[in-house]
Amino acid sequence: MPPLRRYPTEHFLNRELSLLAFNRRVLAQAADDRVPLLERLRFLCIVSSNLDEFFEIRVAGLKEQIKLGSPTPGTDGLPPQEVFRRVGQQAHLLIAEQYRLLNDEILPALAAEGIAFLRRTTWTEEQAQWIREFFLREVMPVLTPIGLDPAHPFPRVLNKSLNFAVELEGTDAFGRSSGAAIVQAPRALPRVIRLPKQLTGLDYGFAFLSSILHRHVGELFSGMNVYGCFQFRVTRNSDLFVDDEEVKNLRTALQGELPQRHFGDAVRLEVPDNCSETMADFLLQQFGLNREDMYRVHGVVNLVRLNSVLDTVDRPDLKYASFQPGIPKVLSKRYDIFASIRKQDILLHHPFQSFAPVIQFLQQAADDPQVVAIRMTVYRTGTDSVLMEHLLRAAKQGKEVTVVVELMARFDEEANLNIAARLEEVGAHVVYGVFGYKTHAKMLQVLRREDGGYRRYCHLGTGNYHPRTTRYYTDFGLFTCHEEINADVNEVFKQLTGLGKANVLRHLWQAPFTLHSNALAAINAEIEAARAGRKGQVIAKMNALVEPEIIEKLYEASQAGVQIDLIVRGSCILRPGVKGLSENIRVRSIIGRFLEHSRISYFYADGAENLYLSSADWMERNFFRRIEISFPILDPKLKRRVIKEGLRPYLADNCQAWDMDSAGEFAIRPKRRARSCAQDALLADLVPDV
């Protein structure tokens, strides 16, 4: 368990506000006219997706604390009520800027390129006729308008679904005159509809479903007068709760909980800026929300839906240049991947290098008659993963296939339930790890008959076994048949599938047992070196830094003279550059084309330069409530590669790097030297023909 010790609150920033600051950095990519136009739109969509999860989890948690009357402040000393107030202020400003960018910059720029979203006030007669026919043919048959009266109470509204509140006047055939109705848009309906080119004169002319329904909503209420039609969207608490004292079967319990996720407590209401005050108050009342929970937006209420446009529009000149990921030389000519791994450890750096060798590794393992067993952890792998198909085939062919499926992987629970069922159908051993601890470690191990005995091979990674995300997440993966590392991996699998005390691992650091203590010990070693007059240095790259004891140890290291560079993409509650506390600590965040996802820990160690890769951020949940591993890079050549590719370019970056000050504010520093962009440099160095 994490220590109970409390630290000075002024040493820490607020985690929720830090997450919003991260989304401001992402939004800055949408504002940057040097970014290809359609990619600017993509960044805008990413911000919306991030904010959805922020409200579903973080804001929902704050509201729960307030509801329960919890007075307990966070590490930063702020009580939940004050955090909620500040979060609301910042979120409203962020969303207002998001829509300003959309309406004032991105949409006009797209229109100039022949990609237009046609407002209903501008439809020509021919366009209006085509849209009416589309509405009558495709939309109206699947709509179920609900007039609100004693026999028709306010309907259950799905989390993040598109809905319309309609203000009416008049009486219907039964003499009813409630004055209001709700129309729910089925998720099967596209939110953006492309019109024929001959009608628009544009390569890509689109109409929003919301505009189409607004124009024709009167068709749903024959003989009534429609005075207003307002789209709205409610965001709900989506954190799943499974009682560890009551649950007997995690899979069954989760299957019972998942449907309720769509109907958790409301935390946010989005309405258009022209929504009447009467209707806004009515909706807030229905969802049990207050005015500060309402977000008026100038446009469609769900910008994530614009992602479909990115897939539709074929304009390579308005997107990042495509590339074909490279393959390490040791694999480029040798088909037998096991022979390649026996020759040397192999490091893959995604997305600059292909994920295909990982797929090939599993494919060959499934087909190789010498392979006896395959073990794998699954956290996020996608709904139609080729990796799962290879596991299924291996099990059908009689190999011992064991898969540790994490059923509590947030928002992937349903996909993982389906994967587990399919694997069990073909005889694979499916386990769900250790209840109360998410299995987040990324491990794939193969047992093969060789030379009268067995040899183990493994792949360890910093990212998920998800072929799609490896194309735009930066991650490292290691293939090795190193006996001691494989023995450690085997031991972790034994813990996950069986029972017994945890044995000492030779090389891996493992949460919840040794990852936290070993990280502290490694920083302590740098402190001792610095106090003795030797060089002390720590470089760490991660998604989030929020664990207080690690942060306090970094402060201690800074005061001892250890030079510390932290590359933290998202939330960071450490204060760098505070005189007498953290003068030797620098924090930067890289936001660019690819999502920085790899976790790297470097300790100078009197010149030994100990280097570890992991899927674990420096957070309490990763140290104490997850099963994680941090694995060393032992091969000197590969160690130099990780430093050269995973750390140095990001410390030198002066294009996509945001430097953090002691108040938690980020800024891109003025360039004082030649342009240096880490992601561009890695594309040039690792990808052929770029």
Architecture of the structural domain at 9-318: 2-Layer Sandwich (3.30)
Distance CA(657)–CA(645), nearest Å, equals 16
> Is 516 one of the annotated active-site residues of the chain?
no
Query: Which helix (DSSP H) or strand (DSSP E) does residue 389 occupy?
Result: helix 386-396
Structure tokens at 620: 């309490």
In the predicted model, residues of the chain with pLDDT beneath 70 are 1-6, 150-152, 171-178, 240-263, 334, 383, 408-414, 416, 670-672, 689-690
Span 204-238, pLDDT tens digits: 999 999 999 999 998 998 777 888 999 999 999 98
Q: Give dist(CA 130, CA 651) in Å, integer.
A: 55
Is residue 545 within 8 A of residue 566, CB to CB? The reply is: yes
Type of residue found at 324: Q
- pLDDT tens digits, 158-183: 999 999 999 987 766 556 666 789 99
CATH topology of domain 510-686: Endonuclease; Chain A (3.30.870)
Tokens in use for 556?
């201690």
Residue 681 CB neighbours (<10 A): 17
Model pLDDT, residue 277: 95
Characterize the bridge pairing of strands 666-667 and 657-660.
antiparallel
Strands 537-542 and 599-603: antiparallel
439 within 8 A of 627, measured Cβ to Cβ: yes
E strands along 196-280, which residues?
Answer: 204-208, 225-236, 266-272
Point out the catalytic residue in the list 11, 216, 350, 440: 440
Do 444 and 459 touch, CB atoms closer than 8 A? Answer: yes
Instruction: List, by residue range, all CATH 3.30.1840.10 domains of the chain.
Output: 9-318
Fold classification of 329-507 is: Endonuclease; Chain A (3.30.870)
Asked if 570 and 13 count as a contact pair (C-beta separation under 8 A), the reply is: no
- Cα three-residue angle 194-51-32, rounded to 5 degrees: 70
Which pLDDT value is given to residue 4?
43
CA-CA distances (angstroms) from residue 381 to 202, 359, 391, 489?
A: 38, 12, 12, 20
Q: What is the pLDDT of residue 246?
A: 42
pLDDT at 153: 83
Q: How far is CA 362 from CA 373, 376, 445, 456, in A?
A: 11, 10, 9, 13
Residue 154 CA to chain centroid, in angstroms? 33
Distances (CA, A) of 393 to 360, 390, 397, 418, 448: 14, 5, 6, 16, 17
Residue 13: closest CA among 666, 663, 587 = 663
**CA end-to-end span of the chain:** 48
* Domain ranges in the chain with CATH number 3.30.870.10: 329-507, 510-686
The Cα-based distances of 53 to 28, 235, 257, 267, 423 in angstroms read 19, 9, 18, 11, 30
Query: Residue 188's pLDDT is what?
Result: 87
Number of neighbours of residue 594 by Cβ within 10 angstroms: 21
